[in-house]
């Protein structure tokens, strides 16, 4: 069972009004839409920062890479 915590955040008034309007039009709560947006955004941020970390690891020589020939051979796709 998931638990929820209250996280006080400041949002511009125009954003709050948009959430309020959407909630009223759809019968859902403002909290529902804020949570949906937060969940979507954290997925995107984790993905992007994961890529940045991989690039950093590659540039530092910490990431194992393969040439096309090596990849084909390892996957059994070579001649």
Residue 31 lies in a domain: yes
The per-residue pLDDT for range 49-63, each reduced to its tens digit, is: 999 999 999 999 999
Model confidence, pTM: 0.63
* Local confidence band at 3 (pLDDT 50, 70, 90 cut-offs): confident
Residue 69: pLDDT over 70: yes
pLDDT higher than 80, residue 79:
no
Stretch 7-27: mean pLDDT, rounded?
A: 97
* 79 belongs to a structural domain: no
Averaged confidence pLDDT in the chain:
94
* Number of domains forming the structure of the chain: 1
Q: Which domain holds residue 36?
A: 13-74
What residues have CB less than 8 Å from 57, skipping those under 6 apart? 63
């Amino acid at each position: 069972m998931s638990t929820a915590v209250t996280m006080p955040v400041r949002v511009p008034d125009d954003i709050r009004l948009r959430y309020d309007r959407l909630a009223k039009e759809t019968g859902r709560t403002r909290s529902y839409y804020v949570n949906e947006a937060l969940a979507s955004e954290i997925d995107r941020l984790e993905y992007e920062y994961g890529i940045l970390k991989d690039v950093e690891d590659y540039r530092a020589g910490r990431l194992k890479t393969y040439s096309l020939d090596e990849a084909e051979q390892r996957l059994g796709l070579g001649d």
